[in-house]
Structure 1
Amino acid sequence: MISSTKFSYVNRSLHKWKAVPESRFKKVAEMLDISNLMIKIKTRPQLLSRDTVYGVHLVFKFSDSIKFSTKPMYVNLKYTKESETSHAYFAKWRDNEWMMIELWRFLNHKEDPGFKFIIESFSPYDCGDCPIYVEGLEFRAIDDVKHEEVNKVQEVQQALKSNLNVDQEQPLSTNSENTFKKSIDYANERFALNEVNGKKHLMLSVKEALHNFSNVKLFTSKPSSQSRFQEVIELLPQHIFRINCTIESQMLSQDTVYACYLVFKLSETCDGLHCPVKVRDLFQQGNKESEILNFISPSPWNIHDITRVPQQREDGWMEVNVWKFNSNQLKNDCILVNLKFTSYEGTMSGLIVCGAEFRPI
């Protein structure tokens, strides 16, 4: 671990040295303004095992006590590596209220030239304006990650780039065309229903699934000849949207656990979708915990047990798992769906929604 005393501080008047009993070093940097950190880090990997994947972590803690949680905390750390600006969204808890946040992953080779970081700012969304103590930079071996998996996320990101605009969709593949055969109600563009391996699969159109669909201040409709329902919607600037619908029991197989997937694309004008989004089941009022999902596939160091990442579909769209339920959880012979999506920061402008798909797990 490299001590924060080895770093350079651009805003010298906004930091001071302080002895913190729980630290492994005699003194650490106390940063008074988390929105303007400007810490320069230049380091070269030393004393590390060769041909091993390492994660580079910033270790810090808030000067005021913050309630400990077993789940990572949203901090949205903005930083620059070389000339590339990046974000690390969630920090994990350690002992004595210390936290760590991963900035990078690399395979340690003998010829590695080293790293240059500029730590710029934390988001005040959950952090407030509390000063932080920066202990240092820690290198941790990642035993369960193969080298080829470090850059695997680029494949999904490239798929997203090739599908930015709904007008650039590719024709459905034969397999996708056969997955959902036209049901008797398909002419009304409400849903598509099919059976696969004896289990019912259901897809609802965006008209059927989206709450307040007709509000022209929130959504704009787009024709789409490649979509199963010939019409999709694009979200206008907003921080919240909801899926609110009712599924009759005969549309689902009995005693089956289903996953609900939001089927979407991104327009070229997407705004705040780089940040994670919270989704909560409003019918489970006793459960205040939210699931975390991404509409843009994050970097490997932003993938945690709590996050759900999008996947490429055969039909040219993307999908992300937003909910799961048991088909026996009926109310008046129906399954009630009421999901609230909330962006951490920025709006969800530019999210193009095709519908919601329900598949057995």
Structure 2
Amino acid sequence: MDYFLLLPEGCVCDILSFTSPKDVVIASAISRGFNSVAEFDVIWENFLPDDYEDINSRYVSPRISPSKRQLYFSLCDFPVLMDGGKLSFSLDKKTGKKCFMISARELAISWGVDTPWYWEWISHPDSRFSEVAHLKGVSWLDIRGTIGTQILSKRTKYVVYLVFKLAKDHDGLEIANACIRFVNRVSDKEAEERASVVSLVGKRVRRRKCNVKRPRKRVDGWMEIELGNFINDTGDDGDVEARLMEITRLHGKGGLIVQGIEFKPE
């Protein structure tokens, strides 16, 4: 017997509101008592970010859905552009935590502005943004993305990724360094000293005394390489910066196509 059918709907809603989106889906599949209220707005509104209305006001095109449940899953499956197309926003489907990607145009890319012989700005059919950055050729590679911790989900561990593709004629991208720092607490030098080693190509790279992080393919067809992670506790740590760099081995590098830097809950 499904004893949850005997409970008042309000009581069942309260129970589900204290769980997670994943738990609601599972519970509704195994109990008719839960399934009868699993689509109520009062439940799914609880899983939307507290500052959702503010975020919604910054959308390029406001997202309209007939129910809070449909809105939730829409934001999980289809990221929306905000702040004039400079930033994209989505939700992690299992937890409802906030995800953001900073567009390539909003990144600090050395030699990326007004130097078309080094970097060019092009459209790409697979990009969520209007432009991506295409590296034609440099010896000094340095890409930074910064976001305010106050807009991220609190009490959450975030992992940061460079989202990219490689042109067929890519070169010199086998080894680079990556680091994360809280801008107000950690200096550039300190971050560089503890940077991890990454490779933007898929093949294995041998390096003594360190593990080399390699990229993986995303469901959207792009590649991502982990730049690092951090804990966002109360959202009052100011700006956090993610950085990819190759500024010591000054050989030629080219063929990198950057869509952005993404901050995702672990």
Contact 1:265 1:317 in 2 (8 A): yes
How far did residue 335 of structure 1 move? 2.0
Q: Which moved more, 1:313-322 or 1:249-258?
A: 249-258
Deviation by residue 1:112-143 (Cα, 9 ceiling, x = unmatched)? xxxxxxxxxxxxxxxxxxxxxxxxxxxxxxxx
> Which moves more between the two structures, 232-241 or 341-350?
341-350
- Residues 180 and 326 from structure 1, CA distance in 2 versus in 1: closer, same or farther, beyond 3 angstroms? farther
Any conservation in 1 of the 2:100–2:263 contact (CA below 8 Å)? yes
Report the equivalent of 2:253: 348
Change (3 A) 1:249 1:302: closer
Stretches of structure 2 that go unaligned for 5 or more consecutive residues are 1-72
Paired residues, what number?
Answer: 183
The answer to whether structure 1 residue 198 and structure 2 residue 96 are counterparts is yes
**Counterpart in the other structure of 1:215:** 114
Residue aligned with 2:221, SS: coil
Matched, 1:227 2:127: yes
Which of these two proteins has the greater Rg computed from alpha carbons? 1
Decide which of 79, 82, 87 is 1:181's aligned counterpart: 79
Matched-pair contact (CA < 8 Å) for 2:149–2:240: no
> Residue 336 of structure 1 is aligned with which of 236, 240, 243?
240
- Shift in alpha-carbon separation, 1:237–1:329, aligned structure 2, 3 A: farther
Pick one of 209, 213, 219 that aligns with 1:308. Answer: 213
Pick closer, same or farther for the CA change 1:281–1:254 going to 2, 3 Å: closer
Question: Shift of residue 323 of structure 1?
Answer: 1.9
Corresponding position of 1:260: 160
Query: How many Å separate the matches in 2 of 1:222 and 1:176?
Result: 28
TM-score normalized by structure 2? 0.59
Are the aligned partners of 2:160 and 2:229 in contact in 1 as well (CA < 8 Å)?
yes
Counterparts of 2:164 and 2:74, CA distance in 1: 15
Query: Which has the bigger relative contact order, CA under 8 A and spacing at least 6?
Result: 2
Instruction: Tell me the amino acid that sits aligned with residue 243 of structure 2.
Output: L
Distance in 2 separating the partners of 1:214 and 1:194: 28
Give the conservation status (yes or no) of the 8 Å contact 2:136–2:254.
yes
Distance in 1, matches of 2:244 and 2:141, equals: 6
Secondary structure class of the residue paired with 1:315: coil
Alignment partner of 2:245: what SS? Answer: strand
Q: In the TM superposition, what whole-angstrom CA distance separates every residue of 1:224-248 from its partner, at most 9, and x where no partner exists?
A: 1320002111113223333334312
SS at match of 2:80: coil
Bigger strand fraction: 1
Q: CA deviation at 1:309?
A: 0.3
What do the CA deviations read for 1:57-100 (whole angstroms, capped 9, x no partner)?
xxxxxxxxxxxxxxxxxxxxxxxxxxxxxxxxxxxxxxxxxxxx
Is the Cα contact below 8 Å between 2:180 and 2:229 reproduced in 1? no
Q: CA deviation at 1:259?
A: 1.0
Kindly indicate whether the alpha-carbon contact (under 8 Å) linking 2:75 and 2:91 is maintained by their aligned counterparts in 1: no
Kindly indicate which of the two structures has a greater share of residues assigned to helix.
Answer: 2
User: Aligned in 2, Cα 1:286/1:303: closer, same or farther, shift over 3 Å?
Assistant: closer
- State the SS of the aligned residue for 1:207: helix
What residue number does 1:236 align with? 136
Contact 2:159 2:265 in 1 (8 A): yes
- Contact 2:217–2:223 (CA under 8 A) maintained in structure 1: yes
Q: Could you say what secondary structure the match of 1:351 adopts?
A: strand
300 and 307 in structure 1: CA distance in 2 versus 1, 3 angstrom threshold: closer
Match of 2:227 in 1: 322
1:279 maps to 2:186: no
CA contact (8 A) 2:180 2:227 kept: no
Corresponding residue for residue 102 of structure 1: none
2:158 partner SS: strand
Contact 1:222 1:232 in 2 (8 A): yes
Deviations 1:135-176 (A, max 9, x none): xxxxxxxxxxxxxxxxxxxxxxxxxxxxxxxxxxxxxxxx99
Deviation at 1:211, TM superposition (A): 3.0
Matched to 2:260, the amino acid is G
Task: Tell which deviates more after alignment, 222-231 or 339-348.
Answer: 339-348
Aligned equivalents of 1:220, 1:320: Cα separation in 2: 22
Distance 1:268 1:329, change over 3 A: farther
Unpaired segments ≥5 residues, structure 1:
1-174
Name the structure 2 match of 1:247. Answer: 147
> Alignment partner of 1:314: what SS?
coil
- Aligned with 1:286: secondary structure? helix
- Secondary structure of the equivalent of 1:201? strand
Contact residue 156 and residue 231 of structure 2 kept, 8 A: yes
Report the CA distance shift for 1:286/1:218 in structure 2 as closer, same or farther (over 3 A): same
Aligned amino acid, residue 85 of structure 2? E
